Structure 1
Amino acid sequence: MEYHQNSSSYGTNEMKQTQAPLICGLPDDIAISCLARIPRIYHAALRCVSKRWRDLMASEELYSYRMKHNLDETWIYALCRDKNDQNCCYSLDPNCSRMSWKLVQGIPSRILKRKGVGFEILGKKVYLMGGCGWCEDASDEVFCFDVSTDSWFESASLPIARSYFACEVLNGKIHTIGGLGSKQSDTNSWDTYDHHTNCWKSQSEPNLVHEIEDSVVFEGKIYIRCSVPCISSRVFAMVYEPSSGTWEHADADLASGWHGPAVVIDGRLYVLDQSSGTRLMMWRKESNAWVMVKRLSQSLTRPPCRLVAIGKRIFVIGKGLSTVTFEVDGGTNIGGVMVGSSISKLSSSDCDLVSCKLLML
């Protein structure tokens, strides 16, 4: 037995020594440094060069190198419902000189028609979770898209079947919260996914409700905006404190002005209020009040909209993936209305936007 182990080890070392270099004439560490600097838009072409390049493009080694040396690029991914009432996913490279949304191919057929699907991004993977159908109860299935390989696969299932739930990433883990489940008790719970172990952990919380309208990570905590329309018109917010693992009611003043999608920039919480025109609001913690930053031109936005932010740049994404982008500190004003550059909606689609998230690679 000992002889065979040494023989195998020798064979492996010999194979490594005879393996062709990534780039002829360069040590592999130098080659990786070169390839890591090539923009993401060309990664699909690089995977076609050779098996070694394909494996490198999908490796944690390249991903970690790009992150460590600030070579990573942030793309926007959006989950939509198309004109056939099916799920579809699009990506946007905001650094491209001619910005346009690109369809992500190959969404698994089992999840195409489900509604209330959870949408989240962790690392270099896009997750589609749960959902339900017309004649189908809430599902526990999770499908994952690896952007480094352009491939879909099935991931570890949710511990509790859910649809129409909130999901956020906090401390490197996905949190799925509330929503509709197979049983009434399922709504008073949340799950946490650890991608290192590929396992979920479920926890209960009696104060959680299934009607969650929005969520955001702010000051290292998860905030959810809730409503209880069957009981009253009251809207309130709850906050998850990771240090104690508990949910509490958030500040009432914060909750009262949270009328729309939220995003955090430089530690500041912004909300796109679409209840009366389109206004960008900011939560001023020092005075415990919401203040208006600027109004946005209604001719450019197509509500209902969602928000993402890259640096100080906000992307307002609406129906048909029509997109307006502006710097939060330096948008151009015309007649008191903030305007910015825009990306036209999809030419052949009037899809409804479900959610949008950022992915760094």
Structure 2
Amino acid sequence: MSNAEEPPRKYRTNPPPPPPSLSSLPDEIVVKCLALVPRSYHLSLSWVSKHLRALLRSPELNLHKTSLHVCLEEGEDDDESFHWFTLSETSKTREYGLVSNPTLFPPHKYGSATVALGSKIFFIGGSTEPSTDLWILDTRSGTMTQGPSMSVPREQFDAAVGVIDGKIYVIGGEGFHGVEEEESQVEVFDLKTETWEVAGSEKMRNILRCSASVEGKLYMVDYEETNLYNPRECERERLVHMVSEKLSEGGRKDMLNDTAYIVCVVEDILFAFFRLNGILWFDTKLSVWRRLVGRDGKQLPSFFLHDTAMAENNGRLVVLWDEIEVDNTISKNVESMLVSLDRSGDKICGTIDWSGIVATVPYSFRFLHCLSVSD
């Protein structure tokens, strides 16, 4: 006779089967699934588990390798010399170093505004004087060709440059002076037709600015503010002065009275190196700058008063800076750190995978360009 407390068979229910999980699949199947996920989601996925993070950084998902090209300049005006290097990893010791790049670059084009697209570097405008020139370097063949001229002469430090939908956008740099806003023509270079076209005009301040393209918009970072240019007319949004003077940290918002020296984009996230605050990333949802912290919650090392360069390389943030010894005015070391990035909620955390000296150069050398190009 059955137990009186046992429910009738018709009322018995089996527990539901566990939901399917990627961890139950072979790694090669998981990698194929991850290959279909846009790279902009990789930071969030990397926090699911250590195993998934390792798969996201596997060679199978990083077929489009990039090389980091660094240009150091020496001297001023007519006495300038320029030296190009490539960041290289040794296969045996897993160390990194700057290797001299033998490519012959036209000297008068070094100081132009630059942007990398694929395996090519585009030198736009002039260095110390406005110019309409466009030069294109193919880093695979080492050949430099002159492209069609812009309609407006522009110079390096006042021009904002970015790539949106496979086209190069250029704003500002006409050479007018003063802090008041003046009209600046927006020019677009179509790589398919190899032609320039004017895409309207925007009011710009003629000041030193850093620029990069994120999420189909051109971001321009200058003192105390961050502006964006949106080329999509259907959104009816062109140049927007965002509330980017605020630095969000732990729920507190502080005034960010600081100047950005350099910017770069890694996994569709905008990073900038500020004079006082070090490395920050831009939260496009809240329009605030946030600190890049380690997994312990502490901010990554900053390099105040140092000459610094920064770029993306194979999905990691690469930072280079010079380390000067007090009594040595002949040479200096160039140091670097390679940082892997992970997203956790509303934070982005950085893990230093490697750091060390990558070169020893003359004391007078300083960073001019740091660009990531496809191999």
User: TM-score, length-normalised on structure 1?
Assistant: 0.63
Structure 1 residues 201-216: aligned runs within 5 Å: 201-216=197-212
- Give the match's secondary structure for 2:244: helix
Seen in structure 2, the aligned counterparts of structure 1 residues 323 and 193 have a Cα distance that, compared at 3 Å, is same
Q: Does 1:149 align with 2:148?
A: no
Deviation at 1:94? 5.5
Preserved contact between residue 323 and residue 344 of structure 1 (Cα < 8 Å): yes
1:77-92 equivalences in 2 (<5 Å): 77-83=69-75, 84-92=79-87
Match of 1:308 among 289, 311, 333: 311
Distance change >3 Å, CA 196–CA 100, structure 1 → 2: same
Structure 1 residues 1-361: aligned runs within 5 Å:
71-83=63-75, 84-93=79-88, 97-101=94-98, 102-111=100-109, 115=111, 117-133=112-128, 137-163=129-155, 164=157, 165-181=159-175, 188-227=184-223, 235-244=224-233, 247-253=238-244, 257=256, 259-260=259-260, 261-276=262-277, 279-284=278-283, 289-294=288-293, 295-297=299-301, 303-310=306-313, 312-319=315-322, 322-329=335-342, 340-348=354-362, 350-361=364-375
Aligned to 1:17: none
Bigger radius of gyration: 2
After alignment, is 217-226 or 77-86 more displaced? Answer: 77-86
Alignment-mate amino acid for residue 178 of structure 1: G
Deviates more, 1:309-318 or 1:351-360: 309-318
Partners of 1:131 and 1:147 lie apart in 2 by 21
Q: Is the 8 A contact 2:171 2:187 kept in 1?
A: yes
User: Which structure: greater helix fraction?
Assistant: 1
CA contact (8 A) 1:75 1:358 kept: yes
Q: Where in structure 1 are there 5+ consecutive unaligned residues?
A: 1-67, 228-234, 333-337
Distance 1:246 1:236 in 2: 18
Q: Amino acid of the residue matched to residue 222 of structure 1?
A: L
CA shift, 1:172, in A, is 0.8
Structure 2 letter corresponding to 1:199: T
Higher RCO (C-alpha 8 Å, min separation 6): 2
Structure-2 separation of matches of 1:146 and 1:87: 18
Contact 1:221 1:240 in 2 (8 A): yes
Decide whether the 8 Å contact of 1:179 with 1:212 is kept in 2.
Answer: no
Match of 1:121, as an amino acid? A
What's the TM-score, normalizing by structure 2? 0.61
- RMSD (Å), alpha carbons: 3.5
Alpha-carbon contact 2:215-2:268 (below 8 Å) kept: yes
Runs of 4+ in 1 over 6 A off after TM superposition: 182-187
Q: Distance in 2 between matches of 1:213 and 1:243?
A: 23
Aligned pair in 2 of structure 1 residues 221, 94: CA closer, same or farther (>3 Å)? Answer: farther
Contact 2:62 2:314 in 1 (8 A): no
> Matched residues in 2 for 1:94 and 1:204: separation?
45
Deviation at 1:192, TM superposition (A): 1.2
Instruction: Give the letter aligned to residue 281 of structure 1.
Output: L
Deviations 1:232-265 (A, max 9, x none): xxx3222111211853224213676474233344
**Paired-residue identity, %:** 16
- Decide which structure has greater strand share: 2
Aligned AA (2:188): T
- Looking at structure 1, the residues matched to 127 and 115 of structure 2 have their Cα atoms a distance apart, in angstroms, of 17
Q: Which whole-Å CA distance do the structure 2 matches of 1:312 and 1:72 have between them? A: 10
Deviations 1:17-76 (A, max 9, x none): xxxxxxxxxxxxxxxxxxxxxxxxxxxxxxxxxxxxxxxxxxxxxxxxxxx996432011
* Residue identity opposite 1:263 in structure 2: C
Alpha-carbon separation, structure 2, partners of 1:182 and 1:270: 28
Following the alignment from structure 1 to structure 2, what is the Cα–Cα distance between the partners of residues 304 and 157?
32
User: Is contact 2:152–2:174 with CA below 8 Å preserved after alignment?
Assistant: no
**Matching residue's letter, 1:236:** E
